[in-house]
Amino acid sequence: MSKYYSLLGGTTTDTEIQVAQENQIVIGFGPYMSQDRYVICRVEHTANGYLYHLVNLDTKEIRRTDILEPLSKKYGIGLYFDDVSHEQMDAMEVAALACEAQEKARIKAKKAEAERKRADEQAAIGRKRLAEILPHDAKAIIVARLREDESDPMTDYFSSRTVRTVILGFSRHTRDLFSEMRRYAANMPETAYLSEPNEEYEHREKYSMGGGYYLGESRYSGWIIQKVPVGDRERTIREFGYTAGDEANIRLKAPAEEAPAEVGPIAVKGEFQIVDYSEKAIALFGDTRPIKDALAALGGRFNSRLSHEGEKRAGWIFPKTRSEQVKALIGA
């Protein structure tokens, strides 16, 4: 038996009391005013009370919860059973939906297990490789990280994730020197532009919620160069084992300079949509993959979770001062 107290809603939930039935509709309210519809496919009584098994009507994914609140008393983010219209689904339809969801979960788990094994194998190869090339007197590793923006300026939510890490070199000290970072930035074409002295690329954010010392345009999007201390050699080898497992992620020497190929005008195809995203920014939606380099060159930032017309969409954010250049690029 469990009891939950909500300070926001001023409610108490006793899990020993069953509040909803199988086949009943449940509505989930999330951040950014998002909504999901579920149906209860099974109600289970456990040592901790009643547990409700739900199936998402859109994604066919299964989730479980022991807290359901009445929709008539909605107060915020959470799962609410429909006690207003008492909407229910046909039992046979729910059973078929549950079977589909279980099969989807099985396939997803199988793929996840295969990916886990692949990642473990790559990490094992990387640990062996890194143990051979990491100098015993190394105090730090110089790395390049490719960041992908997941921020939502409309809601003041700022976040990003690392989609790739590349080992550029090793250092015999732990001092954060931008001159050293610039030298290693030349080790791969994607970060070579950071090797040129530019104070705008030098970020000193060693404070709470800061990004530390790094070289780059932004810690939210694009490539940045960082220095990672080697406190414990074995721990560092484990930490960067997966990265080192792919030879493409080790760039210890600058590549030979290649003659630049002649590039003609960019042929832009597809449908695009430009919208006013905020007072100071515009957003570009559409099939932008073929012109992503050109968009980045205009100062655009890719974001996979932009809010538009009540949905999350992938797109590019630009300052409004770039509007005409963006329009010219896509032929608008």
Domain ranges within the chain, ordered by starting residue? 3-91, 134-249, 272-330
Q: 0.75 exceeded by the pTM?
A: no
Strands 35-46 and 49-56: antiparallel
Helix (H) or strand (E) holding 203: strand 202-205
**Residues of the chain under the 70 pLDDT cut:** 1, 5-10, 153-156, 254-270, 332
Beta-carbon count within 10 A of 138 CB: 17
What pLDDT was estimated at residue 101?
95
Top CATH class of 3-91 equals mainly beta
CB 58 within 8 A of CB 36: yes
DSSP state of 104: H
CA distance 309 to 104: 29
Give CA–CA dist 105/54, Å, rounded: 13
Residue 44 confidence (pLDDT) = 94
Closest CA to 331 of 263, 271, 287: 271
Distance, CA of 187 to chain centre: 27
Query: Residue 4 is encoded by which pair of tokens?
Result: 């939950």
DSSP 156-213: TB--EEEEEEEEEEEESS----HHHHHHHHTTSGGGGGGGS--GGGEEEE-STT--EE
Residue 271, CB half-sphere, CA atoms under 13 Å: how many? 0
pLDDT single digits (tens) 36-69: 999 999 999 999 899 999 999 999 999 999 999 9
